[in-house]
Every structure is written in structure tokens, then in C-alpha cells.
Amino acid sequence: MSLGYAEKLSYIEDVGNVGMAELFDPPLILQEKIERLTRMIRKSKHLVVFTGAGISTSCGIPDFRGPKGIWTLQRGGNALPEASLPFHRAMPSMTHMALVELERAGILKFVISQNIDGLHLRSGIPREKLSELHGNSFMERCTSCGVEYFRDFEVESVGLKETSRRCSNADCDLKLKDTVLDWEDALPHEEMNPAEVHCEEADVILCLGTSLQITPACNLPLKCLRGGGKVVIVNLQKTPKDKKANLVIHGFVDKVIGGVMERLNMRIRPFVRIDLLQTIFTQALSLDKRYVNWTLRIASIHDKRALLPFINSVEVSFSDNQHMKEAVLDKHPFQLKRRTVWTAEPFDVILKVNFSEGCGCACSRIKIPLIFMYASTDTLKRDKDRVFRKLKSKAIKGTCCGQNSVLERNVMISPKSEIVVRAIVTNIRWYDGKTVKTRELVH
């Protein structure tokens, strides 16, 4: 989980059992249990997965109760662990992506998660097939119309508090709220109700990387037992529910699920992360009508004041026919102001977008044609899913990131401006069933 999340929570003295010894099944027994789990999944008609912090430790996110977990270290008076990369750049684990494949194949019916890291949504699990019981650090919600906003930055608060942003629905315009629960907050009905329904219908509930200590969430998997369902627990530590489980596996979650996918003969596709930005080009005639004063801004799609956490700086240059001074934009807001004669021939602005720590490549290049005398009112809106599929395919085939594509273009008459939303591939991660590889190549 996020270290920032732990620091934002209200203080509580008793956080349950922490620092318990990790157990590992001997290799032969582990293989036998993986075989047994594979058979159970093959026969399952309604598989539900219940996840905890243990599925994200291989993503560089510390857990809570492990030997080096946040609560464990705090209780011992030790320094908290350091995350291996920024929280907002964490990529799904092999387990996250295996669950996506099982859902696409129609085997996995529903995912219930206690995690607030947003990785199930980033991996590709449909929102309607996911209950995030404790919230999502990257999600804001409008309590009036129910619209959710999935951000590329960590929301600043926890405890269902108002944030600095408002609902974009014109009928609402209310302040949004974070979705992450504090200790005393009740589980939201919109997450709990579908979770209970699916647990009651499940013939197999697979608990992955959870200590099953936090109530009432930890009691959900047991609901399947009434209808003859089976509970499987994969965790490195003992849990209070082990005695009621049909199968308990002590092993790394990625290794167990990787073994299951291999036996099911199912390939885990690469994870490709796509981030969004918008370029805003605004122009206005000077008072003597000889020049165009223009501004180019690179901004977040989420909010005018929001930072772009995946961008470190932007280098601006111009096509060869322009003798204009190049610039380096290294502070938010990324904004460039220039003056050009009104009769200037069309030219290109070339942006070299330098990515921040945690991205899989160094940069991406964007070319923006500037035409001052052409009064266009054209708009464009491409199918987002189709654009994403093409970008992902191109990135995987080229084994590199940095590709970008226009999603939509909006032109305004007054003030004269063009707003273009662009999608950029910023990370690729491969999974071959046994190892995880992150390519760090420059496009």
C-alpha cells in the first residue's frame, strides 16, 4: 500500500496481529496444491477472487502485516520501508494480469479487493466486476450523480472528504470526495452489496495475499460455504480463516497463480500503461493586427491546476523554416508564450516530453502544426478503446514505449483556441509465467 495512505489514516493503537512468521510449502507439496487449485478453477462455474496487499508487494508496494510491513515496523519503532518507485507509477503484478485473462475467458466472475492501490482497474478488470471495499487512492466520486473519476495522481485525502475538484456534470458541479475509508468508516453499500451477492453465488472463492483480519470484509469469503462453495487461501502467513478453508497454500502469490495459468495453458499478456495529456493552443491578434500572440500549454486532462506526475520536463523546438528560440519547460504549468507575424507560413512546434521516474522510457515526441490564418472549426473525437488497442499493439510489437496518438480535438472561436487530448504509452511490462520483465527502451 501507499506509505502516504498509512500516514493519512487516523491513529489507532490496535491494528491486529502483525509480523507473523512466513510459511512456505515444500516444493513438491506446493506443486500438488497448485495442481489441485487448477482443477478447482477448471470445474468452477462462478469463481470469485478476494485480494489483499500481498498481491501488490511484487509491484514495489509494501504490505501491512508482513515481517517488513508498515504496521509491523511501526509497532517495533522502526523506520517505514521505502517504496521502490512512485506510488502512482506502480504497475500490475503477474497476479493482477492473470486475473484479467481469467475474466476475459469468462472464468472469473468477480473481484473483491481490500487494496486501495487502483491496480485492479489499471490492469483491465472492468469496474462493474470489481468491488473496492476500502476505496481507491486514485478515485474521486460525486456523491450526487455517482460519477467516478479515475486519476493519474494520488488523491490528497482519505476518509471520504471533499477534494479541491468538482463534478464535471453541469447539473451537479458539486465538490468531489475521495473514496478511501478511514478506520471508523463503514464499508460503502455500493461496494459491499455486489460483493455479498457474488460470494453467496460462488462455488470457489480464491483469497490471494490477505491476512483475513479486517472485519467485516474478512467474513465475505465464508458466505460461499453455505451453498457448498469452496474457499482457497494463498498467503505466506496463517490466517484466522485457515481452518474453514478447503485448501491453504503457503507460497508467493505470483508463483502460485503463474503455475495455475501455465497448467491452464493461458498466456498472460503484457501490461501497457497509457497516460493522457492535453495540449492547449490559444492565439489572439495584437492591437495593430500585425502579430499573433500565442500560448501553448501542456496540461492534465483531470483539472486545470492538476500536476502531470508522469512528466518531468518538456523541450520545445520548431520546424526548420522558423528562427525561433527553443525552450525547456521544467516547472508546472508547462507553458510557452510567443509572438509571430500574422502572415507567417504554417510551421510545426515539436515537443520532446521527458518522462518522470517510474516510466519505462525516457521521452515521447509530439508534433503540433500551427496555422494562424486558417479559421478552422473542425472537431474530432476518436473511439478511445480503438485508439488504445492500436497504441498497445504498436508498443508490444516494437517492444518499446513512447508512442502517442490524438484522442480528440476541440476548436473554440472565442478565444480562438485548439484543445487536443493525446494518449501516450508510458510503460510496458511482460509476464512469461515465471518472470516479470520491464522494458526500459527509448522510443
Nearest to 342 by CA among 375, 387, 298, 388: 375
Q: Is 167 annotated as a binding residue?
A: yes
Q: Please report the DSSP string for 54-89 in residue order.
A: GGTGGGT---SSSTT-HHHHHHTTPPPPPPSS-GGG
Q: Could you tell me the three cell numbers for 179?
A: 473514496
Q: CA angle, corner 160, sides to 159 and 166, nearest 5?
A: 140
Check: CB of residue 118 under 8 Å from CB of residue 135: no
How long a stretch of residues is the chain?
Answer: 443
Q: Is 142 annotated as a binding residue?
A: yes
Q: Is 400 annotated as a binding residue?
A: no
Does the annotation mark 323 as catalytic?
no
Alpha-carbon gap, residue 191 to 110, rounded angstroms: 12
- Please tell me whether residue 422 adopts helix, strand or coil conformation: strand
Alpha-carbon gap, residue 237 to 230, rounded angstroms: 20
Q: Is 199 annotated as a binding residue?
A: no
Q: Write down the catalytic residue from 134, 198, 250, 443.
A: 134
Alpha-carbon gap, residue 336 to 178, rounded angstroms: 33
Check: CB of residue 202 under 8 Å from CB of residue 176: no
Question: Which residues are known binding-site members for Zn(2+)?
Answer: 142, 145, 167, 172
Residues carrying an active site annotation? 134
Question: Which residues are known binding-site members?
Answer: 142, 145, 167, 172
